[in-house]
Structure 1
Amino acid sequence: MTINDWLIILGLITIFALALYAVILWRRVWRNQQRLAKQEQERNARLEGDIRILAQSLLSGQLPLIEGAIRIKVLLDNYSGQRRADVDLQVFETIYDATAHIPTHQAWTELPKAQRRLHERQMETLEAQHRSEVVQIARVLSSGVRPATPGAAGKDQTAE
């Protein structure tokens, strides 16, 4: 064999090795994409369940309207799955924006009473203005965030 034959064989072996390595890398990428898609699906299922629970708690009076609207809005912001088109969720954004400046937790307890009362009146006004819309949307969300699929009546929408 000549030197050219050895170089051709070496070149073919190199090409084969690189092709095999490329296939291995693509399989890793594909598996990673599958894993990420599964994690996102699971996350969306958890978020949808949490949104349902919050909506039901809001409807039953276990959760204050303003707090419920804010919590639902935050969960919806993190939910990336398919959504119902028949619901306008803008009211949650409105309530969230209108209360963003109000301190929470320890900062709330440290506020002077006069300031707390001022914020409470503002929240009562917001609640009075938006109660019916929030309750209406909570009724819809209590049955799920995703649109109902044909033939799925009575089935749990979180299971796919």
Structure 2
Amino acid sequence: MTNNDWLIILGLVIIFALAMYAVILWRRVWRNQQLLTRKEEERNVRLEGDIRILAQSLVTGQLPVIEGAIRIKVLLDNYSGARRADLDVRVFETIYDATAHIPTHQAWKDLPKAQRKLHERQMETLEAQHRSEVEQVARVLSNGVRPDDQGAAGRRQTAE
């Protein structure tokens, strides 16, 4: 065998090794994509269940309208799955935007009483203006977020 033959064989071995390495890397990428897809779906199912619970609590009066609208809006912002065609959540965004400047938690407690009363009146006005629309959208959400929805509960029953 000549030097050229050895160089050709060495070149083929290197090409084969690089091809195998590329296959290994591609399989890792594919597995990672599958894992991310599965985690996103699990997250969406969890968020969907939380949205459904909040919507049902809002409809039954167990959750204040303003607080429920804000919480549902935040969960919907994080939900990335398919949505029902009849789902119009602009009212949640309206309430969220109108209350974004109001302090929460300790900052709320630290406010002077007069400022708290002012914010409370603003929230009462928002609630009066949007209560029926919020409850209507919450009723739709209490049946699920997905188009084919029986929601997470329906998928759990199907799996059993």
Determine if the TM-score, normalized by the shorter chain, exceeds 0.5: yes
Q: In the aligned structure 2, how far is the partner of 1:15 from the partner of 1:132?
A: 68
Q: In the aligned structure 1, how far is the partner of 2:148 from the partner of 2:141?
A: 11
**TM-fit CA distance, 1:157:** 4.1
Residues 23-70 of structure 1, C-alpha deviation per residue, up to 9 Å, x if partnerless? 000000000000000000000000000000000111111110000000
Aligned 8 A contact 1:144 1:157 in 2? no
Q: Which 4+ residue blocks in structure 1 deviate beyond 6 angstroms?
A: none
Q: What is the DSSP-based 3-state SS (H/G/I as helix, E as strand, rest coil) of the residue aligned with 1:156? A: helix
* TM-score, normalised relative to structure 1: 0.94
The unaligned stretches of length 5 or more in structure 1 are none
| TM alignment of 1:74-153, pairs within 5 A | 74-148=74-148
**TM-fit CA distance, 1:85:** 1.4
The unaligned stretches of length 5 or more in structure 2 are none
The residue identity in structure 2 corresponding to 1:13 is V
Task: Give RMSD over aligned pairs.
Answer: 1.6
Q: What is the DSSP-based 3-state SS (H/G/I as helix, E as strand, rest coil) of the residue aligned with 2:154? A: coil
Q: In the aligned structure 2, how far is the partner of 1:112 from the partner of 1:62?
A: 28
Q: In the aligned structure 2, how far is the partner of 1:86 from the partner of 1:74?
A: 19
Greater helix share, structure number: 2
Query: What count of residue pairs does the alignment treat as equivalent?
Result: 157
* TM-score, normalised relative to structure 2: 0.94
Q: In the aligned structure 2, how far is the partner of 1:28 from the partner of 1:112?
A: 57
